[in-house]
Structure 1
Amino acid sequence: MADENNIGPVAAVETTDAEAKTPAVKKQRSPQRQKTAAEPARAASEVAAAKSPAAKPRTYSEQEKAGKLKLIETEITKGKSTLKDAIKTAGISEQTYYNWKRTATPAVQKNEKAAPAGDELADLVQLEEENEKLRKRLAEKLRAENTVLRKRLGLD
């Protein structure tokens, strides 16, 4: 029991052991992943962010649309690039290109009707005259049949 009287060195040993067991810097944990129930809420917030005024799609004027369509067509006809590459260089999506092209061409087709040539015009006039004669003959024939039927039924 002689050791009980000698407390000094033993206490020093115990404190050094305690210092050795506890690390000076704690290890940092990475943040835990949220549970699946929280993911739909996050997706809803992303949708709301997409609908915000800052995320409005760019609108182009008719002149800008026509200019981009012409630029794409000239690049394709000159053989500089493929259709997809030309669309990308114009800065629009493929779907936008096809929508613009679809809406631009019917307007051109409606406004521009090819004028018939001299021979075609004469043929057209002749066909219209013949059509008018046939209509008159058909109307006369129907009137005659109508009167015959009225006489048979005794309506006249």
Structure 2
Amino acid sequence: MADLKGSEPSEVPTEVPAKEQTSETKKKAPKPRKPTGQQGRAVRTRAAKSGKQAHTSEAVSPTVRTVRRTFSEKERAQKLGEIEKQTGRGESIKDAVKKAGISEQTYYQWKKAAGQTLGDELKDLVKLEEENLRLKKLLADRLRKENAELRKKLGLG
């Protein structure tokens, strides 16, 4: 073991003193920063800005989002109806949407989607009205013919 293939003991570091290890680790890990001039202030969350009570978990991490809710078609129609009623009373869309518990973007997307489905329903309604008109005319013609036959039989016409 005396022959280490040309390596000298001065080249191989044995143990690094404890003082050197701690100084190197201090350089690698950043020190936690203390807030300057803001000690004792609470973290302001989105809920605190809007006036709502913040939960303790929200105060710790202000970027916590609520779970996305999926609404059924009936619920969407109800919410759109509520918003339309409130705006009809003179309330702003922003306030009405806030009371409904959805965002303005969601409101406009739902309104757009409802408009497209209403367009399909309107087309169907127009077709039904046209058919109704055709049937009314057909019934009126038959009743006129029956009326004319009855007048002939009775000798009134």
Q: TM-score range by the shorter chain?
A: 0.3 to 0.5
Structure ID, larger Rg: 1
Query: Given the two structures, how large is their TM-score scaled by the length of structure 2?
Result: 0.39
Query: Given the two structures, how large is their TM-score scaled by the length of structure 1?
Result: 0.39
Report the structure, 1 or 2, having the larger helix content.
Answer: 1
